[in-house]
Amino acid sequence: MRFLLSTSVATALLAATGVSAETLKLTTLEWPPYVMADASGSSTDAVKSAFEKAGITAEVAVFPWNRAINLAQKDPQWIGVYPEYYSAENDAEKGGDRCLFSASFGVSPVGFVQRKDSDFSWSSHDDLKAHSIGVVRGYSNEAKFDEMVAAGDIKTEEADDDSQNILKVAGGRAAAGVVDKLVFEHLAANDPAVGKVAGDLVFNETLLIEHGLFICFENSDAGRAARDKFNSAL
């Protein structure tokens, strides 16, 4: 009888407080300041807060980016990956082949970092043809820019990560480098190597694009249900 009463009380408390037993697992990458090495950060805060409003606990884990994508796409225990830029090529609802996109939960201002003494300037994509542009290998930047790079119309200098990309610009290896403005500011303040050269650099005032940030849910009934709950709460 004591066990039955305890169970009844616990059930009543759960109902009264709106606590849900549902937990979903998502993958992410280390991308300060949006996601830190311990998975904290502004993007994680936004994602967890929206799920919490839907009565869902979101558990997140940091992986290298390609693994984060593969786990979210192929391993049923992981329901999605964030933060992603929107891509029609990946959007399973637009003829893509990978995932279901959520509504946007944040923005990423992407543009160019350059040396202060550089003559780099641009107002159209054609202006970029005259320069070697630093990019991070495997990153999506902006649709037209990426198409021109793929076609060989824009020359690029590839880097392994944002820090290396910025350092190549500082060293004159590229006229400018594509980077998120908040990422550049974070690295300038927290990465010792970037901090040493940050005084020589400036973020170009003309943005390449302001991306929305999304969760890319697995293309399944479970993924669609999770996406819809997230969107409703958001």
pLDDT tens readout for residues 96-126: 989 999 999 999 999 999 999 999 999 999 9
Whether 5 shows a pLDDT value over 70: the answer reads: no
Mean pLDDT of all residues in 55-59: 97
Residue 201: both structure tokens together: 């650099």
Q: Is residue 112 part of a domain?
A: yes
CB 175 within 8 A of CB 168: no
Residue 92: both structure tokens together: 């399973």
Question: What's the residue count for the chain?
Answer: 234
Mean pLDDT of all residues in 212-230: 97
Task: Mark whether 136 and 120 lie in a shared domain.
Answer: yes
Task: Mark whether 99 and 113 lie in a shared domain.
Answer: no
Whether 17 shows a pLDDT value over 50: the answer reads: no
CA distance 81 to 24: 11
Whole-number pLDDT of residue 18: 45
pTM: 0.83
Mean pLDDT of the chain, nearest integer: 92
- Report the CATH number that the domain containing residue 123 is assigned in CATH: 3.40.190.10
- Residue 34 lies in domain: 21-106+212-233
Whole-number pLDDT of residue 138: 83
Q: Is residue 202 part of a domain?
A: yes
The dihedrals phi and psi of 219, each to the nearest 5 degrees, come to: -80, 80
Task: Mark whether 55 and 170 lie in a shared domain.
Answer: no
Whole-number pLDDT of residue 139: 87
Q: Domain total for the chain?
A: 2
Q: Is residue 13 part of a domain?
A: no
Closest among 38, 197, 177, 26 to 114, alpha carbons compared: 177
Task: Mark whether 33 and 96 lie in a shared domain.
Answer: yes
Q: Is residue 229 part of a domain?
A: yes
Task: Mark whether 25 and 95 lie in a shared domain.
Answer: yes
Mean pLDDT of all residues in 124-153: 96
Residue 110: both structure tokens together: 């992407």
Task: Mark whether 117 and 206 lie in a shared domain.
Answer: yes
Task: Mark whether 159 and 82 lie in a shared domain.
Answer: no
Whether 20 shows a pLDDT value over 90: the answer reads: no
The dihedrals phi and psi of 109, each to the nearest 5 degrees, come to: -80, 110
Among the residues of the chain, which ranges form H helices?
2-17, 42-53, 65-74, 143-150, 162-170, 181-190, 192-197, 221-233
Q: Is residue 9 part of a domain?
A: no
Q: Is residue 4 part of a domain?
A: no
CA distance 58 to 22: 9
Whole-number pLDDT of residue 21: 64
Whether 16 shows a pLDDT value over 80: the answer reads: no
Q: Which residue has the tokens 């279901």?
A: 100
Mean pLDDT of all residues in 129-152: 95
